[in-house]
Structure 1
Amino acid sequence: MANFITYRNQGATRNRPLDEELVKRLAYLEKMGITVEVFSGGQPTAEEGGPRTGSTRHDHGHSGDMFFYRDGRKLDWANEQDRPVFEEIVRRGKEAGITGFGAGPNYMQPGSMHVGMGNPGVWGADGKGDNAPEWLRAAYNGAPSGKPDVVAEVVAAANKPEPASPQIPILGQAQANAQPQPQPKPEEPKSNNGILVQAFNKLTGSNVQVPDKIFGAEIDDINKGFAGLGDFAKTITENDQSINNQIQASARAASGNRNVTPVELQMLSSYQPMSKKKRKGALSGLGGYFV
C-alpha cells in the first residue's frame, strides 16, 4: 500500500481500493509532498453484481474521489493560495497518463477532485465538460499529452516483429561478383569444298562454294559414291600381277610349254597420269589394258 494514500471509503458504496496501475501513476503526488484521502474508490462492474453507483470510471478502482493534504493541511481549490497546487496536480497527472479530472462548485464535496482513467476530459457540476472550472480546463489543456502505459509499451515492444534485414538475391549477387565471360565464337558454316576447290579459291582469290545438293542429290552421298569407285579401281590395280601370273601360266600350258611370249595384262589405276599409258578398251575412270 502506498504511504501517501489513506482510505476513508469503508462505509461507502465504492468501498474498494484504487487499481494498482492508477496508484503507480499517482506516485508524483508523493514527490510533491501531497497525501490523499480516498472517500470513494473502486466498485464491481454491472455484470459482476454488487453495490455500485454512477459511471463505469470507478469500476475495478480505475478512478477515485479524494481530498488532498500538504503539511497536514487540507487543500481547497476554492482557496486562491491552494489553486496553483491543484493546477500542478492536474498537469503532472496528465503527464503521467491520467485521463480524467472532475472538480468545481456543486460537484461532490468542496475541495475534492475526481482523478482516474477513462475517456480523456475534464468536467464540473453534473459531470458536464461545460461546467468544468476555468483553472481546471487551462491546467489540463496546457499540459503535454499523457505518457503511454509503461506496461503496454513493454508488451508492444516484445510483440513487435523485427524488421527484415535487406537481402541480396543469390542470383543477383553472383551476377554482380562474376567477371565478364568471353562470348564463344560463332560456329563457322560447314564447307563442302575439296582440296582442288580450296586451291582454286586461294590462287584466284575467288570464293567458290560447293553447294549442299547437286541435281537434288546430297553432296555427301555423291562423295561417298566416288570414293567407292576409287576403292574398287585401286583394288584391281593392286592385284594385276596376280592376274597376269595366272594368264601366263594358262598360256604356257596351252602351248605345251613352248617358249612363247604370253599376253600381259596390266591394269591402269584411275589415279595414274593418262599420258604415261597407251590405253585401249578403257573403262572410264577405272584404267585399261595393253598387249
Structure 2
Amino acid sequence: MTIFVGPPSLAIRNKPITNELRSVLNTAAEAAGVDTIRITSGGQDALGHGTRRTGSTRHDLGRAADLQCVVGGQALTFTDEAAPPGILRFVMAAAAAGAIGIGAGVGYMGNRTIHVGFGTSVNDHNRLTWGVGGRSATAPQWLRDAAQDGWDGGGPMLPPASADEAIHPGRYAVMARDGLKLRGGPGTNFGSDRTLPAGTELKVVAVSNVDPAWVRVDLEDDGLLDGYVFAAFLAAVEAAPA
C-alpha cells in the first residue's frame, strides 16, 4: 500500500487532494514500485471560494499535486535528458490511469518534483505535458514519451500489477483497454510499429534485466522473440484443465 505524505501545512496549497487523484497516484506508485508519494504542493481554494491559492487553477479543490516519488527513503531524481525506470513507469501508469496534466523539468520544479493531475477545470479534458515556463515545448522528451505511451495504452481493465507481484515466464493476456504497444526494447525510448489489441494472448519468455517492468514476449509460441511490452498491463492466463 502506498504511503502518502503531505502537503506541508505551511504551504499555500496545503489542502488535501481528491480521492480520484489519490487513486491515480496509488495505481501509478504500485506499477512503478514507489513506496511513498511525498506531496509538496496539494489542493488549494477555488477561484471565488477563498484566498489561499496561487498560480494555475489545476490545483483547485485538490485536482492536482506536485509530488516526489520516494523509494527506500530516497526521492527518485531525473534530468531533462533522461529519467530512471521508476519515474518512467510512474508517469506512464499515471497517464494510463487517468492523469491528463503532467509536468516536469529541472528548470520547472527541480530534479525530483513532478506535477500530476487533471485539467484546468472539470470541463478541460485536454492531455498535456510541459516543462520549464509551463510550456509544452519545454517538456523533456522522456516525459512526453512516457505520458503518451500511457495515454495510447488506455486505462487498464484491471489494476496494474504491484511491485510485489512479479511476472514470471508463462501465458498472459493484454489488459489495456485500447491495446498495448509492442516495442523493440525494454523502454519507451524504443520504437513501436505494432499495438496488441486488448485480450491478445502471448507468452512471456523473460523479464528484462535492464528494467524488470518490461518483459520479452513470443506472440506465436514458436520460440522466436517478437519484442517487449510493459508488464503492468498483462494478466496471467490460467492453464486449461487436462
TM-score (norm 1): 0.47
| 1:130 aligns to 2:130 (yes or no) | no
Aligned equivalents of 2:47 and 2:83: distance in 1?
37
Does the CA-based 8 Å contact 1:67-1:74 persist in structure 2?
yes
**1:69–1:81 distance in 2 versus 1, CA, 3 Å:** farther
Query: 1:167-246 to 2 correspondence within 5 Å?
Result: none
| 1:147 matched residue in structure 2 | 155
Aligned equivalents of 1:120 and 1:36: distance in 2?
22
Aligned equivalents of 1:79 and 1:125: distance in 2?
10
| 2:53 matched residue in structure 1 | 52
Does the CA-based 8 Å contact 1:94-1:145 persist in structure 2?
no
| Offset from partner CA, 1:70-95 (integer Å, 9 cap, x none) | 12222101298952221111111111
Aligned equivalents of 1:146 and 1:50: distance in 2?
37
| 1:66 aligns to 2:97 (yes or no) | no
| 1:121 aligns to 2:122 (yes or no) | no
Does the CA-based 8 Å contact 1:99-1:146 persist in structure 2?
no
Does the CA-based 8 Å contact 1:44-1:50 persist in structure 2?
yes
**1:127–1:78 distance in 2 versus 1, CA, 3 Å:** same
**1:124–1:20 distance in 2 versus 1, CA, 3 Å:** same
| 1:111 matched residue in structure 2 | 112
- Asked which structure has the greater RCO (Cα within 8 Å, sep 6+), the reply is 2
**1:82–1:120 distance in 2 versus 1, CA, 3 Å:** closer
**1:70–1:79 distance in 2 versus 1, CA, 3 Å:** farther
| 1:24 matched residue in structure 2 | 23
| 1:181 matched residue in structure 2 | none
Q: How many residues align?
A: 148
| 2:9 matched residue in structure 1 | 10
Aligned equivalents of 2:82 and 2:55: distance in 1?
32
| 1:160 matched residue in structure 2 | none
| 1:33 matched residue in structure 2 | 33
Greater strand share, 1 or 2?
2
Does the CA-based 8 Å contact 1:100-1:121 persist in structure 2?
yes
Letter in 2 for 1:27: N
Aligned equivalents of 2:30 and 2:59: distance in 1?
22
| Offset from partner CA, 1:103-131 (integer Å, 9 cap, x none) | 01210132110011113110000100000
Unaligned 5+ segments in structure 1 are 149-291
Deviation at 1:145, TM superposition (A): 4.9
Please give the secondary structure, in 1, of the residue aligned with 2:137: helix
Aligned equivalents of 2:7 and 2:44: distance in 1?
14
Please give the secondary structure, in 1, of the residue aligned with 2:115: strand
Aligned equivalents of 1:109 and 1:10: distance in 2?
21
Deviation at 1:17, TM superposition (A): 1.1
Query: 1:87-102 to 2 correspondence within 5 Å?
Result: 87-102=88-103
Does the CA-based 8 Å contact 2:104-2:140 persist in structure 1?
yes
What's the C-alpha RMSD, in Å, of the aligned pairs? 2.3
Runs of 4+ in 1 over 4 A off after TM superposition: 79-82
Aligned equivalents of 2:57 and 2:153: distance in 1?
23
